[in-house]
Structure 1
Amino acid sequence: MLSLLPGNPYGVFIRSFGKAHAFLAQRANSAAFNRVHHISKNDLPYLDAILDWYRSYDAVCSFEIIPLLTSPSLLWHFAKRGLYQSGFYNVLYGLPGTETARFPHIDIRAVEPEEKDLFADVYFTSFGVSKTSANNYVRDSIRTLIDISSNQCFFAFIEKRVAAIAVLSVTQQIGYLGLAATLPSFRGYGCHKALLQVRIEKAASQGCQLVVGQAGVGTISQRNMERLGLRLAYTKVDWTIYSERQEPNSFDPFNK
């Protein structure tokens, strides 16, 4: 997303190592953005080259590990090179439903292009992210979600007040239930579940054959997904390179 900003201000690069794909936002320098996806046990010969590539930019990084693709040897080499397990997420899947969602006390509508700042403000407040210049890259990445043609971004309102946000991304007949956040003062009103059901219905209306999403292990988000028929596919793990310069982030712009 940051790569879509004019002039590439955050120095975004993407590089492949075997079948692994490494993403770098040099000026953001956050393991939430500097991530390696789809690495498998067959990519072990590239591990040092990947780490050297990030080091050449003085950047921290993390690896997203899918159980089916890994091996004890790969994880052992992660530990040997100073990486540690930094997070767990459940990936869920289901079939899109066509039943229209009804929530009498919640109004849901699409986000307008001129509402990017409000959309980002809800995210910042919901996750307790400080609005400092150091976190400008987070704000820019959230605002850019609205500009991507495959995305549909939503507001949920309670009594005409913005209460929550969510994103649906549609690619190749798969609907991804992306970022969702609810303001602290509106939690417990059903906004997350309502936004889930609306997005699932939207995915069905656009011909999606599958919906997928991810949530923290054992969270309300996971339970809401399961109540709407999604099932657990697998639990993925993040491994992050140890750095004395940077404590682990308390937020993740993509996986909450």
Structure 2
Amino acid sequence: MTPILTQDQVHLIERSEMDYMVDRMRAIEEREGNPEGVEMKSFGKTVAFYSRTMPWPTFNTVKGLSPDDIDCIDAIVDFYKSRGRKPQFEIVPSRVNLEILKKLAEHGFYQSGFHTSMYYSMEQLPPDWRDSGIDIKEISEEEFMTYALIHCRSTGLPDDGIPYVADNNQVLYARPGWRFFMALIDRKPAAVGVMYMNQTVASLTFAGTLPEYRNRGCQQALIRRRIYEAAINGCQAVVSQAGFLTQSHRNMEQVGMKIGYIRTTWTELER
């Protein structure tokens, strides 16, 4: 039986999403000369992420906002404004109150989207990844250009971004807790999945499949493999994120992951 979700588990899911993002951004920041212009600034327990060269919302987002830090919203907005960037706020249900939402609205932010945070408790029996018929291997350090090609083509990024994606992920390879996996079909690279383990929680941080190999079970096999690896490494829970009712969401549910919460994204109005 799947355990009933508690407030402690909601906090665990949110914390794990912050932990992997902090470690990921720190690794990119520590590259010689910090070429991506990464900055992270804490406002109480809230963390603001910024990259000068990567303008996408993922790298310019605010995580962990709670009523304790409502007085920091002005400073957070100013942090991004001084860098010429519009941030997004990730709002976790039950972790904010009406006053925070009103404050964001006063600053011109509006609810622009939903995102599902999923979890898998190890009180369940980990699924067997070996019955998928798909070969799953760990990525070696020499394979990050292949990883980056799959990353870019699966997400619609142009091929000229492949070297940058390779560099920004290869720096994670030797860091504690990070694991990279590749699914092979007919011995050819077809899909990738990434995991970050910290203490007793594993986060499934990225997954992508080349368009020509979709609908062949690669992602379900990669999810199963990562849950299995988390279990044998002593993790008590696995968390991940997906767009609501996307194929990624369905893949996670089909291997036994459950909805932890559906967070909202708040974006500044264009003026």
Q: TM-score of the superposition, structure 2-length normalised?
A: 0.83
1:154 to 181, 197, 201: 181
Contact 1:105 1:159 in 2 (8 A): no
Contact 1:14 1:21 in 2 (8 A): yes
Letter in structure 2 aligned against 1:129: L
- Counterpart of 1:233 in structure 2 is 260
Once residues 139 and 231 of structure 2 are traced to their aligned partners in structure 1, the CA distance between those partners, rounded to angstroms, is 20
Q: Structure 1 stretches of 5 or more lacking a match?
A: 245-256
Once residues 144 and 95 of structure 1 are traced to their aligned partners in structure 2, the CA distance between those partners, rounded to angstroms, is 29
Judge which range, 230-239 or 71-80, deviates more: 71-80
Deviation at 1:84, TM superposition (A): 2.6
Deviation at 1:27, TM superposition (A): 3.0
- Counterpart of 1:110 in structure 2 is 138
Q: In the alignment, is residue 71 of structure 1 matched against residue 91 of structure 2?
A: no
Once residues 166 and 142 of structure 2 are traced to their aligned partners in structure 1, the CA distance between those partners, rounded to angstroms, is 15
Once residues 131 and 214 of structure 2 are traced to their aligned partners in structure 1, the CA distance between those partners, rounded to angstroms, is 15
Q: In the alignment, is residue 165 of structure 1 matched against residue 192 of structure 2?
A: yes
Contact 1:30 1:60 in 2 (8 A): no
Contact 1:116 1:146 in 2 (8 A): no
Deviation at 1:80, TM superposition (A): 2.1
Sort the Cα spacing of 1:136 and 1:65 in 2 relative to 1 into closer, same or farther, 3 A.
farther
SS of the aligned residue for 2:256 comes to coil
Once residues 194 and 239 of structure 1 are traced to their aligned partners in structure 2, the CA distance between those partners, rounded to angstroms, is 33
Judge which range, 198-207 or 28-37, deviates more: 28-37
Q: Deviations over 1:50-94 (max 9, x none)?
A: 111111111221111111111222112212212233331111111
Contact 1:117 1:143 in 2 (8 A): no
Q: In the alignment, is residue 90 of structure 1 matched against residue 116 of structure 2?
A: yes
Q: In the alignment, is residue 52 of structure 1 matched against residue 81 of structure 2?
A: no
Q: TM-score of the superposition, structure 1-length normalised?
A: 0.87
Q: In the alignment, is residue 11 of structure 1 matched against residue 37 of structure 2?
A: yes
Higher percent of residues as helix = 2
Deviation at 1:202, TM superposition (A): 0.6
Deviation at 1:154, TM superposition (A): 0.4
Once residues 220 and 49 of structure 1 are traced to their aligned partners in structure 2, the CA distance between those partners, rounded to angstroms, is 38
Deviation at 1:242, TM superposition (A): 3.3
Q: In the alignment, is residue 184 of structure 1 matched against residue 211 of structure 2?
A: yes
Once residues 205 and 141 of structure 1 are traced to their aligned partners in structure 2, the CA distance between those partners, rounded to angstroms, is 28
Deviation at 1:194, TM superposition (A): 0.4
Give the share of equivalent positions with the same residue, in percent: 36
Equivalent residue pairs, number: 243
Superposed CA RMSD in Å reads: 2.0
